[in-house]
Structure 1
């Protein structure tokens, strides 16, 4: 199996965590999205038609989009499960994962920030204000969901005693927000999950600075 990834991509980070949690052996192939390698014709045609990272290749099977990849990994390598089978538990995990994957991340990813900077020509201060606004709005929602979950689940992760897809999404989102200088002290439950995850070998191994394509 091959993983096409960029060290600082939070979507790639999600998949790296999932692969580590499941103990799936894979080859890491760095794709530098800062220099546009994800838009190279050969990559788009043969690896990921979405012109993005991450992508998984196993034989002649190619798959992009981190949430789809992790769902496929759950079916292909079912232990440990990251998306619960029980309908209500599954729905709760997906609710939080989709909040991050659909509401927070898309408005603050690299291509959006580059469009703000290069096409709309916003100032660095305006770009930072944009990023901080959507992080604050999204993380407030995450914090409310975690507070609701705490009434029925006891454990250090988003939904109890074991990590799920929700944790695979939350940890990279927090890491990116911290890198961008966001103040996250108000989100106590989220930060508690993040701190706990940082001590877990799978999460630690997936960190950006531990990847072979890492640069400062």
Structure 2
């Protein structure tokens, strides 16, 4: 089986997606901590494996002597885990094509529509180029969370989708849930979204998710590179 190395940062929501998926699947891996705060991700060494300078990167070495492949986007890495470890403890893409499409649609809401608009580099550019202050940055991120999580909840609760289950698509964990967890953590902990008030269906789903030990262990406060009080 491939030997995996996860290059990540404790507070990176994209890294959290991989931590959750790897834990759910019970796949062993090694972690390399990249100091985002001190801009290590923009250094020559990390840029050599991830030219986009984004986190995380998943390195997979199949032992063929060619060295590892570097998967530089979190969703590509999540899909790789599905394909490279078909016998892992949990499958995160449904067998039904329609359900897989729903999962991927929900994933895209998080990773394509929400995440880039409240990412650190976006907020940094708002301040540097447009003069936004901290309160304005928080409002920007908050408002995008409301818009995109509302879209997510409408898909989850659409009559055509059937009764709302424990998770985003029925009662089985999927890649949508893996991506939803850190998005909600950011929305609530950083941007002041009232989940219970604004998104009752997502609040119930998140209640099931945050009870999972794999999700609890993946929280940024539990990571070895997180600041200690």
Q: Does TM, normalized by the shorter one, top 0.5?
A: yes
How far apart are 1:119 and its partner, in Å?
A: 2.7
CA contact (8 A) 2:166 2:204 kept: yes
Residue of structure 2 in register with 1:12 after alignment: 15
1:32-181 pair list within 5 angstroms: 32-45=35-48, 47-59=49-61, 60-78=68-86, 79=88, 80-148=90-158, 151-153=161-163, 155-180=165-190, 181=192
**CA RMSD in angstroms, aligned pairs only:** 1.5
Question: Tell me, which stretches of 5 or more residues in structure 1 are unaligned?
Answer: none
Partner SS, residue 2 of structure 1: strand
Residue of structure 2 in register with 1:205 after alignment: 217
CA distance in 2, matches of 1:202, 1:6: 17
Partner SS, residue 122 of structure 1: coil
CA contact (8 A) 1:150 1:159 kept: no
CA distance in 1, matches of 2:159, 2:109: 15
CA distance in 2, matches of 1:144, 1:155: 14
Question: Tell me, which stretches of 5 or more residues in structure 2 are unaligned?
Answer: 62-67
How far apart are 1:77 and its partner, in Å?
A: 1.2
Residue of structure 1 in register with 2:193 after alignment: 182
CA contact (8 A) 2:60 2:69 kept: yes
The alignment's TM-score, normalised by the length of structure 1, stands at 0.94
Provide Cα deviations, 1:68-122, integer angstroms capped at 9, x if missing partner: 0000000011232112232111100000010111001111101001111223221
Partner SS, residue 58 of structure 2: strand
CA distance in 1, matches of 2:161, 2:28: 37
CA contact (8 A) 1:149 1:158 kept: no
Pick closer, same or farther for the CA change 1:198–1:149 going to 2, 3 Å.
farther
How far apart are 1:55 and its partner, in Å?
A: 0.7
**Moved >4 Å (runs of 4+):** none
How far apart are 1:154 and its partner, in Å?
A: 5.2
CA distance in 2, matches of 1:19, 1:44: 24
Give the total of aligned pairs: 215
CA distance in 1, matches of 2:201, 2:207: 10
The alignment's TM-score, normalised by the length of structure 2, stands at 0.89
Of 29, 33, 47, 1:30 maps to 33
CA distance in 1, matches of 2:7, 2:148: 28
